[in-house]
Amino acid sequence: GTRHHFTIIFNAFVFCQVFNEFNAREIGDVFDPFKKLGTSPMFVIVIIFTIIAQWFIVEYGGDFTQTYPLSFEEWEITFMLGAMSIPVGYLMRLIPIDEDPESFAGIGDSMPKKKPTSSFGMLSLLIPLAAAGYQFYKE
């Protein structure tokens, strides 16, 4: 592949990491990745710094970082590809896991009990995502 191609992959990967940081703000079965952002100023600063640093690395890194400047449309596409990690974080929370409450991050009995979900339900959510990804890639 070309430097341009690898820059697109690199940018999408970094945005996957940025959005996964929102998923990782809460462990367990709770899913509200944007909850109480105002009470986490350091988190917001890290996210903003990461995005600004990524922009400089891609746009001005050149030979030093082996990157190629991207168009606005390519930035949008890589941003949206990275944002796909938010629904993946949701889907991961639907996977039933038997956990010993005494050994799970010290949370114990304060975690609400989760009813099991079927694999078919998860598959029905993944198929449209895969189809959308294929259509996007095909264009």
Mean predicted confidence (pLDDT) in 30-41:
84
Measured at the CA of 42, the angle between CA 82 and CA 67, to 5 degrees, comes to: 40
- pLDDT bucket at 134, cuts 50 / 70 / 90: low
User: Is 119 a residue whose pLDDT tops 60?
Assistant: no
Distance CA 138, CA 129 (A): 14
What is the per-residue pLDDT for 24?
A: 87
CA distances for 1 relative to 5, 24, 41, 70, 93, angstroms: 6, 32, 39, 15, 35
User: Is 97 a residue whose pLDDT tops 80?
Assistant: no
CA distances for 99 relative to 24, 28, 83, 117, angstroms: 19, 10, 29, 15
More confident residue, 66 or 109: 66
pTM to 2 decimal places: 0.68
- pLDDT bucket at 25, cuts 50 / 70 / 90: confident
Residues 26 and 35 sit within 8 Å (Cβ to Cβ): yes
Question: For residue range 75-92, what is the model confidence (pLDDT) as tens digits?
Answer: 999 999 999 998 988 888
What is the per-residue pLDDT for 32?
A: 82
Closest by CA to 4, choosing from 55, 68, 63, 72, is 68
Distance CA 114, CA 94 (A): 9
